[in-house]
Each structure stands twice: as structure tokens, then as C-alpha cells.
Structure 1
Amino acid sequence: MKLNTIVVDDSSIQRMTIAKLIKEHIHLKLSGDFSNALDAKNYISNHLVDLIFLDIEMPHITGFDLLDGLKVKPQIIFVTSKADYAVKAFDYAAVDFLQKPIKKERFLISVKKAVEMYHLKRDVTNDDHGPHIIIKSNLKKIKVFTSKIKWVEAFGDYIKVVTYDETHLVLSTMKAFESELPKEHFLRIHKSYIVNLDKVERFNSKHIEIDGEKIPLSRNKKEEIVTILENY
């Protein structure tokens, strides 16, 4: 799942810089970039926007003015050259505050916060009726929401189901457990690993990364996962 993302900044150089970083990120989709808040507001009113990289100081209408005029506010990452705005920025429940010039490492930290917040809100919304499976672990039947699973790992005659809350040990084969998971969100990338595609942060030819953990990627799965994630 990619977050529909826009950039609002009166500086064309800054817009190009942020847009490039967005296009390179596995969990972001660049939906548009705008040089002024009015055009951005018109776009937001008619399109689904999950995340805004928003400059504060712009002619005529500031970033704060833009947010004040929105009934439903997407997630916000403020971008500005002045640290003085930081306190006010967080009055708007901003995900983060980036100072110009933007460094890629700092950008990635901000995006990780936004992605985690997006999934957290979705998990809360789906808490009573979202997609789930029933597993038997430690002689107990447990309801596990699939959106909370990070990956599944082979472990001898068992499998480990790794979630954000805890790890469950289940007596099952990988093949049998894979059949229980929604195919549109889970992919077996290795004989010993199934991953939740929503949780993938980055990948290369040897492994993918979820929540800072590196998970091996089979060579024959590389092309498949590239194709899937580019269109996810």
C-alpha cells in the first residue's frame, strides 16, 4: 500500500528535491506538487491525499492557513528553513518537522513515522472487524489481525508468526499457513519466509527490510517482488 503524497512549496528546487525522494520511496506515490497553497487546497478537496510535505512560508497563503481551511487533514510533514516554527507545527499534530536543506536520512525517518501512523490508524479502525486469522499457539486459539503481521518464518516443525505485539509459535507448514493469508498482501520471498508487503521498507537483490530487520530474498523472487512493489 502506497501513501498518496503531495508536495506544497513555492520553491521549485525544493519541490523537485522532495518529489525525487518520494518517487524513490517504496511506500509513497507522488500524486502532485504545487507551488502555492490555493492550488493544493483545490486538489485535496477533490482527491484522496494521505500525506503532505508542506512548506510553511509561502506567498499569500501560508502552510498553516492551508491546514486551517481543510475539514479533513491528511498527515503533515512540515518543511521549512526556520526552526522557530517547530512548536506551532506540532499544534497541528504534524508527523514531523524537516528543516531545509533536506537530508535523505532525515527524510526517511519522517516517512517511517508517517507509514507507521497510517497503519496504526487503519489497525484501530479495523480492530473489531478487519481481516484476521485464527491460530493455535501455546494450546490457545488466538485471533490475529493480518494487518499486524510483519512476517512469517519457518522454525523446524513450527512457524513463527511475527507481529508488532508479539511472536506466536504455530504448528504448521509454510505452505498451509500461506494459504490462510490474503494473497494481495502477503508474498513468500524465500522457502523460509513470507512477508507482509505493506510492511516492506526497502529491499535489494539479497534481502528486504521490515522494521529494521533484514529478511533474505531468494534470487528467483527478485523480479517478482520488484514488479509487485512498483505497482502496489
Structure 2
Amino acid sequence: MTTNYIIVDDEHIAHDIVKGYCDAMPNLNLVKHCYDAIEAMECLRNHKVDLIFLDLNMPKLQGFSFLKTLVNPPKVIVTSAYQEFALEGYELNVVDYLLKPFSFERFVTAINKLEHMDKPKTNSTVKLEEERLFLRSNKKHVQVRLNDILYIESIGNYINMILADKEIQVREKISEIKKMLPNNKFMQVHKSFIVAKNHINSIEGNRIFIKDYVVPIGKTYKQNVNALLG
């Protein structure tokens, strides 16, 4: 499904960076470049917009002040050079807060959060088999079907993602990957391991068996596993 977005920022170079990143991702469609909040308001009145990339320090009307004027705002990813406003951003339910200058990898993390946020469904529901993540591995971005993930292991600043047919290594923290995964399908069982519940074959003592793999259960996560067992 295509996500229609606008960029609201008074700096032309910021527009070029965000658009360049968006062009490298599938299903992101630019509606308009807006250079202040007034221009953005006019755009929202006349176009269907699903996502705003929003700068905070702008003329006429500041970013969060603009956001507070919207009755039913689209999803918002903040792009700002000011870290001190991050808490207020999350209180306003922004998808993510990107601190300038941000890398393409950090941008992809924000888009993944957007893609996997819980959204109300009317006539259909998203099946697990159809849910995907784009992850950077070996200098390229690979698409991973969530249903193919057996478990995830943290190794320093990397994670090793064990899939049904292969393994991939991704430069990401396990805490960030966990935010992208639906809680009803995945469970952290150790500070270094997340498992896919539907791929668990058996649980014995402090070990989880998934196909030919054995995953340890950490003491502080034992209650998560016990809750699964009922």
C-alpha cells in the first residue's frame, strides 16, 4: 500500500535528504514540498496525506504548535536538530524522532516503525505472512517476511536473525528490533534472544527448542515463558 507523504521544513537541503531517502524505499509517494506550516495546512486540506516529515524550528508557526492545530493529523516523523523536544514529541504520539543529521539506516528504522504500528482495520486484517521488514545487511537492504523469522540473537551491536531458510546479520540493537515486532507473535526470552512463538517446538527447563536450534531462557524472562504456557 502506498504511503503519501509531505516534507515540512524551511531548509531546502533537508528536503533533498528526506526525499532521497524516501526514493530508496518502496511505496512512499511525495505529495508536496512544504516550507512552512501554513503551506502544509493548505496541502492537508486539498490532498490525502498519510505521513508528515516535520521539522520543528520553522518561521510563522513552530512544528509542534502546527501539529497541535490538526484535529486528525496524519502519522508524523519528526526531523529536528533539537534533541530537547523529543519527550514532547512522543507525548504527541509521533512515530519517531529523527535527530539531524540522521543516517539512512536510522531513517529505515523509523519507516519500519511506521509500517508495523497497530492500525484499525475495517473489512480486513493484515496477515502475519504479509508483514515484512526492510533490514540493512551486508551493505544492502533485504526484505524479511515476519513469518520466516525463527528467532533473533543479539551479538554486540549486531543481531543475527535466524530465518526458516537462511541467516542474516543486521547492524541493529535487539531493543530496536523488538519495537518493530508484534508482541502477540514474538517474545523476548533472554536479554540476547527473541523467539517467534509460532515456531516453538517445545520448552524444557530453561531451554526452548525451535527446529534444530536451542535458545536459552533468562531468569528475568522466565515469567514471560510461563505466561505462554498458561
TM-score by length of structure 2 reads 0.58
The Cα shift of 1:40 comes to 0.7
Q: Determine which of 128, 134, 137 is the counterpart of 1:149.
A: 128
Please tell me whether residue 39 in structure 1 is matched to residue 39 in structure 2: yes
- 1:65-214 to 2 correspondences below 5 Å: 65-117=65-117, 120-122=118-120, 125-126=121-122, 130-131=123-124, 145=125, 147-150=126-129, 196=130, 199-202=131-134, 208-211=143-146, 213=149
Contact 2:112 2:134 survives alignment (8 Å)? no
Contact 1:6 1:30 survives alignment (8 Å)? yes
**Aligned counterparts of 1:202 and 1:92: Cα–Cα separation in 2:** 26
Q: 1:164-197 CA distances to partner (integer Å, 9 max, x unpaired)?
A: xxxxxxxxxxxxxxxxxxxxxxxxxxxxxxxx3x
Residue 21 of structure 2 aligns with an amino acid whose one-letter code is L
SS in 1 for 2:32: strand
| Inter-CA distance 18–215: structure 2 relative to 1 (3 Å threshold) | farther
Q: 1:88-123 CA distances to partner (integer Å, 9 max, x unpaired)?
A: 111211111000012111100111111111xx213x
Q: 2:54 maps to what in 1? A: 54
**Aligned counterparts of 2:76 and 2:63: Cα–Cα separation in 1:** 10
**Aligned counterparts of 1:78 and 1:51: Cα–Cα separation in 2:** 10
The Cα shift of 1:149 comes to 3.2
The Cα shift of 1:208 comes to 4.0
**Aligned counterparts of 2:50 and 2:128: Cα–Cα separation in 1:** 22
Q: 1:27-80 CA distances to partner (integer Å, 9 max, x unpaired)?
A: 322222211111011101221111111000001111112112211111111111
| Inter-CA distance 215–108: structure 2 relative to 1 (3 Å threshold) | farther
Please tell me whether residue 15 in structure 1 is matched to residue 18 in structure 2: no
Identical-pair percentage: 28
The Cα shift of 1:201 comes to 4.1
**Aligned counterparts of 1:102 and 1:7: Cα–Cα separation in 2:** 15
**Aligned counterparts of 1:148 and 1:26: Cα–Cα separation in 2:** 19
SS in 2 for 1:121: coil
Contact 2:37 2:62 survives alignment (8 Å)? yes
Q: Which has the higher contact order (CA 8 A, sep 6+)?
A: 1
**Aligned counterparts of 1:208 and 1:93: Cα–Cα separation in 2:** 27
The Cα shift of 1:202 comes to 4.5
**Aligned counterparts of 2:112 and 2:36: Cα–Cα separation in 1:** 26
SS in 2 for 1:57: coil
**Aligned counterparts of 2:61 and 2:164: Cα–Cα separation in 1:** 46
**Aligned counterparts of 1:210 and 1:58: Cα–Cα separation in 2:** 39
Contact 1:54 1:63 survives alignment (8 Å)? yes
- Gaps of at least 5 residues in structure 1 are 132-144, 151-195, 217-232
The Cα shift of 1:210 comes to 2.6
CA RMSD, Structure 1 to Structure 2 (Å): 2.5
The Cα shift of 1:200 comes to 4.3
**Aligned counterparts of 2:111 and 2:64: Cα–Cα separation in 1:** 20
Residue 209 of structure 1 aligns with an amino acid whose one-letter code is V
TM-score by length of structure 1 reads 0.57
**Aligned counterparts of 1:23 and 1:29: Cα–Cα separation in 2:** 8
